[in-house]
């Protein structure tokens, strides 16, 4: 501790000096650009696939659940006593998912359906209640495993547009519970819920911006695994303009971020005045008593009022 007092002014001086020296230079010289997303995708996918071929999950417990089974997915290495287990690679599904930054990058997103679920299927901008566990992949020095960085204690409500893209993309492949029972101790037990996992490339995760999380720092470019239980879903209307956000995906590509009718840098799903005509979207649509929405086109030009700045 004693040395720290002396060290600090020196650090400050060095920083000052460095800043002074830099002042004539192009400030971009100090900027380390993020890795190319297409190239990173290739390396990330190989790392994810390495994990999937060397690990298995507790599928036997899901096949014949023990009495006290918590219906949570657990992974282990295929080795020793477990050398004969079926690799995740042979049990996962995958789908192609677009990068949110570079439209030319498509990810092969692997997910595991331990239980699909019997309830409702959420849409990509909906609000869900889940249990989850987040880990990042460690793949170095012959080691190939994963480290826990976050988990829920009790079911948590999440806006799907706020969570990492890979988890958003995976959760919409599952279904919720069919209902729940109130337990005497005040907790609830959900029935028929979906249980799954997703194995995502860093480009669908945090890439160069991992969040600060309790004690564990996630490395940049880390591949992520989330396991989850999906309990409930409700329709998202993030800007409260009366239009469910799933209908604000104007170009119909399943992404909420890239639709901005009035080009004001607020995507439609978070823009309460989508055409920028200063009339709120809510006043340019009609909602009847049953909640059915209709979209008037007053000037008959084929563009509905709430997306028509002239009407």
Task: Give the residues lining the site for Ca ion (CB under 5 A).
Answer: 239, 241, 249, 251, 253, 255, 258-260, 262, 264, 266, 268, 271, 274-275, 277, 281, 305, 308
Nearer to Ca ion, 192 or 280 (CB): 280
Count CA within 13 A, CB hemisphere, residue 246.
13
Could you count the other beta carbons within 10 Å of the beta carbon of residue 173? 19
Which position's Cβ is nearest Ca ion?
A: 271
Nearer to Ca ion, 114 or 307 (CB): 307
At residue 133, the 3 state secondary structure works out as strand
Question: How many whole angstroms from its chain centre is CA 164?
Answer: 3
Taking the complex as a whole, how short is the minimal distance between the CB of residue 189 and Ca ion, in angstroms?
Answer: 37
Taking the complex as a whole, how short is the minimal distance between the CB of residue 309 and Ca ion, in angstroms?
Answer: 6
52 and 199 in contact (C-beta within 8 Å)?
yes
Taking the complex as a whole, how short is the minimal distance between the CB of residue 19 and Ca ion, in angstroms?
Answer: 38
Taking the complex as a whole, how short is the minimal distance between the CB of residue 296 and Ca ion, in angstroms?
Answer: 10
Nearest residue to 220 (alpha-carbon basis) of 93, 68, 34? 34
Nearer to Ca ion, 147 or 260 (CB): 260
Taking the complex as a whole, how short is the minimal distance between the CB of residue 100 and Ca ion, in angstroms?
Answer: 11
Nearer to Ca ion, 217 or 298 (CB): 298
Nearer to Ca ion, 229 or 238 (CB): 238
Taking the complex as a whole, how short is the minimal distance between the CB of residue 97 and Ca ion, in angstroms?
Answer: 13
Proportion of the chain in helix, strand, coil states, percent, rounded to 5: 25, 25, 50
Angle of CA points 267, 171, 199, to nearest 5° = 105
Rounded Cα distance, 200 and 210, in Å: 14
Nearer to Ca ion, 178 or 253 (CB): 253
Q: Show Cβ contacts of residue 305 under 8 Å, excluding neighbours closer than 6 positions.
A: 284, 285, 295, 296, 297, 298, 311
């Amino acid at each position: 501790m004693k040395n720290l007092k002396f060290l600090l002014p020196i650090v400050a001086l060095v920083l000052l000096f460095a800043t002074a020296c830099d002042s004539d230079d192009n400030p971009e010289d100090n900027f380390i650009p993020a890795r190319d997303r297409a190239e990173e995708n290739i390396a990330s996918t190989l790392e994810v696939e390495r994990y999937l071929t060397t690990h298995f999950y507790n599928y036997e417990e899901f096949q014949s659940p023990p009495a006290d089974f918590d219906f949570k997915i657990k992974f282990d290495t295929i080795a020793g006593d477990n050398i004969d287990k079926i690799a995740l690679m042979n049990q996962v599904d995958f789908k192609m998912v677009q990068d949110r930054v570079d439209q030319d990058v498509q990810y092969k997103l692997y997910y595991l359906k331990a239980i699909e679920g019997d309830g409702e299927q959420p849409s990509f901008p909906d609000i869900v209640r889940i249990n989850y566990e987040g880990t990042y992949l460690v793949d170095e020095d012959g080691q190939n495993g994963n480290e826990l960085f976050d988990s829920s204690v009790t079911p948590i409500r999440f806006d799907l547009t706020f969570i990492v893209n890979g988890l958003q993309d995976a959760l919409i492949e599952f279904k919720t519970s069919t209902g729940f029972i109130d337990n005497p101790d005040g907790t609830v037990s959900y029935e028929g819920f979906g249980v799954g996992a997703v194995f995502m490339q860093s480009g669908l995760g945090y890439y160069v911006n991992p969040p600060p999380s309790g004690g564990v720092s996630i490395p940049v470019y880390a591949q992520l695994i989330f396991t989850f239980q999906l309990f409930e879903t409700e329709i998202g209307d993030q800007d409260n303009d009366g239009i469910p956000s799933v209908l604000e995906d104007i170009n119909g590509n399943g992404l909420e971020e890239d639709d901005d009718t009035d080009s004001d840098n607020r995507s439609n799903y978070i823009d309460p005045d989508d055409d920028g005509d200063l009339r709120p979207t809510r006043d340019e649509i009609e909602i009847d008593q049953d909640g059915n929405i209709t979209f008037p086109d007053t000037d008959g030009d084929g563009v509905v009022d709430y997306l028509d700045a002239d009407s």
